[in-house]
Structures are given as C-alpha cells and as structure tokens.
Chains A and B, each alone.
Chain A
Amino acid sequence: MRKLLFESLIKPTLTEAPPSPADAAVEELAKTLGKQARRSLGRSLSIREVDAGSCNGCELEIHALNNAFYDVERFGIRFVASPRHADMLLVTGPVTKNMAEALKRTYDATPGPKWVVAVGDCGLDGGCFAGSYAVAGGVSAVIPVDLHIPGCPPSPSDILAGLLALLDETNRPARS
C-alpha cells in the first residue's frame, strides 16, 4: 500500500480542467431562477441524488463525477446522504408512479432555498418510457425543476457543465 500511496504523490494528477458552464443550462437557469429567492451558495453545493425510476445509466455517470478525472469536490460540490443536508436534488429517470410519492416527500424534506436538476432524457419528459401506465412523466410532473441536463445518459462532463452553470447563476445577484 505504501508504494501505491507514494506513487500517487509523485505521479502527475489525472484531474482535468473543468468544462465551461453549459450555454443551454445558463439560458434555462436565467428563466427558472429569475423569480426565485436567490442565495449565494458561495463555493459550496450539497447534492442529494434521487433515482426516481431510471435505468441506472445516469447513476453510473453521476458516480463517475467523483473519480479522479472529474473530481467534483474541488468545486465544493458534494453528494450528501440526506435531503435535509441538501441544497439541490439531482433527479434521474422518468418518475414512476411507484416512486412519485417518495420523490415528493424527498423534495418536501429538503430545506429551502433549494434547486432541482433533472438529469437525462427521461427526466425531461419521461423519454422513451413516456406514456406507460406506470410512469407519471418527467421530473417536472411531480416537483418543480430548475434545470434539465439532457443525454442518455449525459456524460460526466455534461453533468458537470450543468452543475457549474447552476453554481455560477445562483451566485449572480438577482435581477430586479
């Protein structure tokens, strides 16, 4: 173990430069955040991830955000274990009818001001599962959504670009 740890000290870092905040995300946030209470998050964003019925593909890529290449903690972004500790819910999947109440209750348990980011094509409008007897729809069918990050699944860079846009926008003074 000592050898591995020592190597990690002398080898160049794998962490890459961050992507620039996604343009589409900045545009969407300008609309959704405009009327909401703004609070400067500073350089800290606590995220509670909620799988509301996804195929698990988005979860894999959200997991990847924590690896050495993306290392989201350097931006002050961290995943927390309870909605009560969270500033933001990161929701994936078409919301299944069997998960709708759990999602709503998770949202209600998150203290305000709070943001909701829907990840993946399914999170937008149910994606390829829209219209099923078991699917309520996209995330916005159950709770208000501030930002959508499309993709099936979106790559970690796409997700990171969206989250950085959210950090930037929420730190900007409110428009009058």
Chain B
Amino acid sequence: MAAFWQDILKDREAEPHGGWQHHAIDESEWTETAEALDGETAVLLGLWGDRGTIRMALLDEATNDVVVLALACPDGTYPSIGKHHAPAQRLERAARDLFGLTPRDCPDPRPWFDHGRWDLRHPLGEAAAEPADGAAYEFLAAEGEGLHQIPVGPVHAGIIEPGHFRFTANGETVVRLEERLGYTHKGIEGLMAGASLDRAASLAARTSGDSTVAYSLAFARAVEDALRVEAPPRAVWLRALMAEIERLANHLGDIGAICNDAAFALMLAHCGVLRERVLRASEAAFGHRLMRDRIVPGGVTTDLDDEGIDTIGLMLGEIRRRFPALVELYDNTASLQDRTVTTGSLSPALARRFGAGGFVGRASGRAFDARRACAYAPYDTLSFEVPVLMAGDVDARVWIRIREVEQTLSLVEQILDRMPAGPILAEPGKPSGPREGMALVEGFRGDVLAWLRIDEDGHVGRCHLRDPSWFQWPLLEAVIEGNIVADFPLCNKSFNCSYSGHDL
C-alpha cells in the first residue's frame, strides 16, 4: 500500500538526507497535500519555518510512512494548511511569529509566541526592531445571556508552569475555554541556530524538564540520522532503559497527581513515594535524578555498572510489590471514580484528526506509539503491548498510564536482561555538506519530533523540536466544554501537557 502523498509526489526522487523521505514541492502540491489531510490515516506530524522555507512532516498511519515536505516561500507567504486542517493553525502562527512566514488565508491571524515583549519581530527571520508594547490579546468572543469570564494565569495556584486560560462559563458550566500560551518561550530554536552539537544537545535536554531523556534521545537520533552514523549497541539499549525509567517516573507522578486533583491525597502520597524511588535509582545508576545530559549525539555519557543494575532491580521489585494495591485502590474507590469517569471526554474522531499522541490519543482509540510504528532499536526486538481504550475520559487516561507502567516494568526487565556489552559512545563526525536529519521518539507524553539541518562546519543550522503537546493542548479546550469549572484541574492534569516543550 502506498502512503497518501504518493499520488501527489508521483515518482519523484527523494533528496539525499538521512533515513526519512525529504521532498521539495511546489505550491500546488503543498495545497493538494493539505486537502488530503482527512483526519483518518493522514496525520500532520509537524509544521515549522526556516529562512525562506516552510516545512511539514506527515505520517500515513495505514503504512506508518513519514515524509518531510519543504516549500520555498520567496515572497514570505505560503498557502495555509490550517485553513484545511485545524491542527496546523497554532504551528503556523508560531512560524509566522518566529520567521515572518505568512500563511495565506489562515483562519487565525493572531500572534502566538509573540506577546509584543521581545523588542523585535520575527527574531529568526528578517528580524526587525520593534518597541515592546505588550499589546492586548484578543480572545475569541463567546456571547450569550448569563455568560461570564474567568481569567486564570499565567501564574497558577499550584507548582506548575505558566499559561493563561480564559474560561467563559454559564454558572458552573464551562461554555468555552481558550488557551493562551507562549509565556515560557525562551527562544530555544534561536539559541540552537549556529550552536555546536554539544551546546544544542544541552539545550534540547532543557526543552521540557520531565521529558529530558526523550528530547535528548530525539535530538541525538536526528543528528545521527543526518550524519548517517549509529550509536553503539550498548548505548542504544542504555538509551531505551533511561527512556523507560523516565516514562515510569512520570506516569507514577501523574497517577498520583490526577487523583490528588480529585481530592484523593492518599494516592498522591503513595505514588509520590514510588516516583521518588525511581528518581533515586536513576541518580544511583546514572548520576542524575532526571538523567539529564546522559544521552548525546553518538551514544550516552554514563555507563551502567553492576551496582546500578542492582539498584534498578531493587526499585522494580519495590514497585511490583506496591503498585497493584494502588491500582486496586483506584479501581475500588467510588468517590474517586465518580470524579474521573465521564469527565473530560475526548471523542476518538477528534483524537485522530489532531493526531494526538501518548495517553491522550491512546485513551481515545488512537493506537499510535512511535516505539511500535517506527520500531526504532531496540524496541523492534522487545516484547510490549500498546494499551488502547475508547472511553476518552479522565478515567481512561488514568488507566492507560496504569497499563503503561506495567508494560514499562516489563520493558526495563527485558532491557536489563539483554543489555549488550561494548563501547557507549562513537564520535559523530562532521558532514561533507549541509545535511538534514529527523527523529520521532516516544516520550511519556507522546511522540517527540526533532528535525535539524547540520551545516558544513558541523554546527546546527536549524533545529526544530515538536512537543506532543502541540496536538493535545487544543483538545483540552474541546474536552472541557460542558464540564464544570471545578473539573478543569482534573481534566488538565489528566492531559498534563507541557508548557515549556510547547513554548520552546
């Protein structure tokens, strides 16, 4: 079976970059592709700017093929994808803020990252100085009798990241939620341009703190794809070990935190203990609680010794002993179920249309998991299931996490059993000319996409990191509709989207 873009591209020869297909296309092909994004098996994986070029990555879920399409925009404009396919809209707004590339006929011309506070416009394109005015943002109108607005953030009540939520409510019921993000925009992609691979890797590791392993892995694999080098086998297995431990820590934290937002603190207390045990084992085995900067282009920086293996083994044993009782507790507490079941339901059609990854997609019937679909090493030889549910409510998102904790425990054991010996780092080397590379990696939250171009001098020319949250944040706006305001923290926590990973 051919991927959906084959009809459009015909037998065109791919450009010589890395292991994925890369094509330069013209405007009519670009528009034709946009119209083919049907919300079934044709999925938008990302859309990002470059100087004078706009790119998008697509996935065909029927064949699991991935392609990167590039369109030159000599006049700084291109036909809007968002006009045909809503998930592209925020990506287009971000690309315009950063590069000044304007999507023609884009349904939403408002800025996204640019809050009017940078002293300049289009910082990564033809930058132009502009006094910071912090101009007011126009929220979409929601009109009707008895409606009132509740503005929340950017500074929230909990220990969480900043963002603004504008609720329009009728009494207790949310009629509309609109998010305004970009508060944590640090200019990571700007800092990466021209940076050495080491410096860019350390920035990638600081894109989203809870997914530092996933981001480092995505970045390293994109570099290796561009340079056509492979990390040594032991490094590949150590990377997977760290990625699974990160998933374990985050899922345990989330399960506790979701229940806590339903006022069930007991679960948070117990899950918090298990999460802490995972972080302590990470510290003992890899020298850092979050395993930051352990994965670099070419391999990993820290080897695992026998003591580390024992520590991880003890941690696994502890979780295997304690976790089942917590699952039972969740399952048998009616007051908790009363809060989570049927709350914040996401329809499978919407999850598919947005290509939602991670527990958000899998709780609503979308089975995509980059470990399975792209089958990157060592997952091609490991045995695991990808749990999928159809209910799409907070409860389903909790259950996906519970099932994934169980799968991850098994994966960590398999990885420890089969860990090959050998070196852990290979020098990535330098390219003979500009090279492009890409990687799609399954973080705990969903698929992280990294695309980059390495210039002749071995520095990063352009790097784009696409957090799974891009295709989950808009869905949070949809699921809260018709729920009560008091259930928003619960819905929000069950999504647990990243602010920093999204804002870059």
Binding site for B on A (CB under 8 A): 1, 3-5, 14, 49-64, 66-69, 79, 81-83, 93-94, 96-103, 106, 127-129, 131-135, 152-153, 155
Contacts and interface: CB of A to CB of B under 8 A. Distances in A.
Contacts of A133: 118-120, 123, 127, 187, 190
Interface in B155-182: 155, 157-162, 182
A97 B221 CA distance: 32
Contacts of A59: 159-161, 209
Interface string B200-226: 001100111110100000000000000
Interface stretch (B142-150, B270-278, B455-463): B270-278
B162 A51 contact: yes
A132 B289 contact: no
A56 B266 CA distance: 24
B183 A129 contact: no
Nearest to A155: B289
Given A61-B289, A67-B276, A133-B123, A102 B186 contact: no
Contacts of A83: 155
Contact of B209 (A1, A60, A134, A135): A60
Contacts, number: 154
A55 B206 contact: yes
16 contacts: A4-B270, A54-B161, A54-B500, A56-B208, A56-B210, A57-B206, A57-B292, A67-B275, A68-B272, A93-B184, A97-B117, A98-B115, A101-B117, A102-B183, A132-B187, A153-B290
B273 A69 contact: yes
B183 A64 contact: no
Nearest to A64: B276
Contact of A1 (B123, B190, B210, B333): B333
Contacts of A81: 157-158
Contacts of B208: 55-56
A54 B209 contact: yes
A98 B183 contact: yes
B131 interface: no
A153 B273 contact: no
B159 A4 contact: no
The 3 A-B residue pairs whose C-beta atoms are closest, nearest first, are: A57-B209, A132-B187, A134-B187
B348 to A, nearest CB: 29
Contacts of B119: 97, 133
A99 B185 CA distance: 9
A135 B186 contact: yes
B421 interface: no
Interface string B418-444: 000000000000000000000000000
A4 B191 contact: no
B311 to A, nearest CB: 16
Nearest to A126: B186
B186 A129 contact: yes
